[in-house]
Structure 1
Amino acid sequence: MNLFELLGQREFMIAVLAAISMAAVVFTFGSGYIVKTEMKDRIKRVALEREKMRAAEMARLRGTETTVEGRGIRRTGETKSYMKNVVEKLDLKKAFQDDATVDKLAMAGFRGQGHLTTYLFMRLSTPIAIFLLIAFYLFLISPGERPLYLNLVYAIGAGLLGSFLPAVMLKNSTTKRQFSIRRAWPDCLDLMLLCVEAGMSVEHAFRRVGREIGQQSAELAEELALTTAELAFLEDRSRAYENLGRRTGLDGVKSVMTALIQADRYGTSVGQALRVMAEEGREQRMMDAEKKAASLPPKLTVPLILFFLPVLFIVIISPAMIKVFGPGGVAGGG
């Protein structure tokens, strides 16, 4: 039996899909118990972002147009040359990029031109690769008795579905990142309030809280470090606050940043604003917990009917059925 015959067997494909599903389940449940050591890479990226902002600010003060690339700074997320050439020659920015693409990538933690180029290249290459893979399998490995046009329709449909894969993966990364930031944000506000009331400035409070909150949420620590760098180098402090809210995409973070902008603009107490927002954050977290607790009974109804009640009925009725229909019983000893 050659390789093509083996790949064409239905039992082999079922076994392969079952193995992939089992590996996905193990990875999904096991990844939560693996401690991710990404802090060094995140700190390196933050340092590069800080150096970029410093260079841009120095160039602005000197009145020159010196770019960061001209200073020899190599940022993370640089793409391969062939990706950049494909994006430029086919003008994929006009085809796939809109006003919200850069913000969506930032909310997922992907910043810089390199990640944007990679995302645009994947938007083009993913459906083509899936189309060729499915077409190779349907036409050469397992043609079956289907007409030629039907195999072609299946391959085109798979390619169209594959065009949504980069957007789905980006949405998944954004959701995971926002969940980590949302979970640690109330504690971050409490720590920031303590730092401000202890006499620290906002910049030092962001820096201190970023170091402390890193054990709970590395994503939030990275965003706070970038905000600290922006507060140090940007001319307008409100831009740094707005950028933090835009990068996270969370309403709770945006409301706190709006309060800080108003406090900085009108000269009101930053500590009082943080105190009010921290109380609202704790109340919101309690409301979310109560909402999840209230939604448990409806969610348990279907598993209770499908799994618990049949087993309960079997346990209750089985002894009586054994006595009635078993040897020596009323029906069995007839």
Structure 2
Amino acid sequence: MNWISSVLADPAAIASILAAVAMFATITSVMLPVLKGDKLETRLKQVTSQREKLRRASREALERKSLKREDNGKIGKISSKLNLQKMLEDPNVQQKLTQAGLRGPRPLAIFYFCRFILPFAGALLTFVYIFLVNDLGLNPQMKIGAVIFGAAAGFYAPNLYISNLAAKRQQSIMRAFPDALDMLLICVESGMSIEIGFAKVGAEIGSASTELAEEFQLTTAELAYLQERRTAYENLAKRTGHEGVKSVCMALMQAERYGTPLGDALRVMAKENRDMRMADAEKKAAALPAKLTVPMILFFLPVLFLVVLGPAYIKYTEMKAGQ
């Protein structure tokens, strides 16, 4: 304590201490940016690393979903040997399969194989039932017509199945699409790129709609893999086949081309899709009374008649028995 008091009493010692503190502060202020490093460069490196990681994952996803590979299974080999794709060519079948969520060469080979074999199976089953089991009282011409009808039903059955599957998948996508747009808007406005936004929303929306999560992940892969981002948006619109998704993809393409803010476009599209979902719900609610007419006639009216006329019938039988 005596030493400290003596130092504080000496003006030269105080001046030396202040000079040392000033020198330390000067050196620290000069060297601090060097020691701290460049945050922008570090952040850009992190973004680049994340982008390359996403690009590799996207390429692997596209390779797994690729349509250019050949189906080496038994059905694929049979379809290739019989050349069913050329014999039963349908220009819209690929788009229908994609909208139904069936990608790759195997579903295409199975579709053409079923389209080839089911007419014979339908005709054979109809022939066996009508000619051997129960003729239903039909004349020969009607029996032949029934066999032809069975063959036609077998031919169009794969198309009907694919159409129903695509419709169910589209409904699942559109139920969660407005919420997904809201989440994508939050991601974009928080500073994320559109690729990372699609990847984030695709990971989060899976609990509400697996189909929409799959479509968003594929779009993320295509945005990182394809040369033109416009093509990725067009593919998303084709895979879903819904007007709401097409309008959103068109807005994204215009924002990409003209440089308009993505947040404004996504906000407007999210509101429109919510209104569209509400309009669909109101439409279903308005059609409910008409759909309930037949069940009410079949199930409610007979019971109502029994309740109303039952006591009168019982009274009538008692009066008749008393006479």
Name the TM tier (shorter chain): 0.7 to 0.9
CA contact (8 A) 2:183 2:201 kept: yes
- Which residue of the partner structure matches residue 333 of structure 1? 322
Please, what TM-score do these two structures have when normalized by structure 1?
Answer: 0.71
CA contact (8 A) 2:119 2:152 kept: yes
Deviation string, structure 1 residues 274-308 (Cα, Å, up to 9, x no partner): 00000111111111111111112222233333332
Is 1:155 the counterpart of 2:147 in the alignment? yes
How far is 1:132 from its partner?
3.0
AA of the residue aligned to 1:215:
S
- Which residue of the partner structure matches residue 243 of structure 2? 251
- Which residue of the partner structure matches residue 40 of structure 2? none
Q: Tell me, in whole angstroms, the C-alpha distance in 2 between the residues paired with 1:148 and 1:317.
A: 49
Helix, strand or coil at the partner of 2:321: coil
- Which residue of the partner structure matches residue 235 of structure 1? 227
AA of the residue aligned to 2:156:
F
> For this pair of structures, how many residues does the alignment match?
267
Let me know the Cα RMSD of the aligned residues.
Answer: 2.9
- Which residue of the partner structure matches residue 61 of structure 2? 49
1:262 to 232, 241, 254: 254
Q: How does 1:172-321 map to 2 (within 5 A)?
A: 172-321=164-313
- Which residue of the partner structure matches residue 167 of structure 1? 159
- Which residue of the partner structure matches residue 17 of structure 2? none
- Which residue of the partner structure matches residue 118 of structure 1? 110
- Which residue of the partner structure matches residue 93 of structure 2? 101
AA of the residue aligned to 2:61:
E
- Structure number, greater radius of gyration: 2
Q: Tell me, in whole angstroms, the C-alpha distance in 2 between the residues paired with 1:299 and 1:151.
A: 36
How far is 1:140 from its partner?
5.7
- Which residue of the partner structure matches residue 80 of structure 1? 73
AA of the residue aligned to 1:267:
G
Residues 190, 144 of structure 1: alpha-carbon distance in 2 compared, 3 angstrom cutoff = closer
Q: Tell me, in whole angstroms, the C-alpha distance in 2 between the residues paired with 1:158 and 1:171.
A: 20
Residues 128, 235 of structure 1: alpha-carbon distance in 2 compared, 3 angstrom cutoff = same
CA contact (8 A) 2:68 2:105 kept: no
Helix, strand or coil at the partner of 1:163: helix
Deviation string, structure 1 residues 208-228 (Cα, Å, up to 9, x no partner): 110111111111111110000
Q: Tell me, in whole angstroms, the C-alpha distance in 1 between the residues paired with 2:63 and 2:76.
A: 24
- Which residue of the partner structure matches residue 20 of structure 2? none
Q: Tell me, in whole angstroms, the C-alpha distance in 2 between the residues paired with 1:140 and 1:307.
A: 38
Residues 80, 68 of structure 1: alpha-carbon distance in 2 compared, 3 angstrom cutoff = closer
Q: Tell me, in whole angstroms, the C-alpha distance in 2 between the residues paired with 1:300 and 1:150.
A: 36
Q: Which moved more, 1:207-216 or 1:306-315?
A: 306-315
How far is 1:188 from its partner?
0.9
Q: Which moved more, 1:128-137 or 1:185-194?
A: 128-137
CA contact (8 A) 2:184 2:197 kept: yes
CA contact (8 A) 2:58 2:225 kept: no
How far is 1:148 from its partner?
7.5
AA of the residue aligned to 1:323:
K
Residues 195, 304 of structure 1: alpha-carbon distance in 2 compared, 3 angstrom cutoff = same
Identity %: 48
Q: Tell me, in whole angstroms, the C-alpha distance in 1 between the residues paired with 2:110 and 2:199.
A: 31
- Which residue of the partner structure matches residue 48 of structure 2? none
Q: Tell me, in whole angstroms, the C-alpha distance in 2 between the residues paired with 1:158 and 1:186.
A: 43
Q: Which runs of 5+ in 1 are unaligned?
A: 1-44, 57-66, 70-74
Please, what TM-score do these two structures have when normalized by structure 2?
Answer: 0.73
Q: Tell me, in whole angstroms, the C-alpha distance in 2 between the residues paired with 1:295 and 1:87.
A: 45
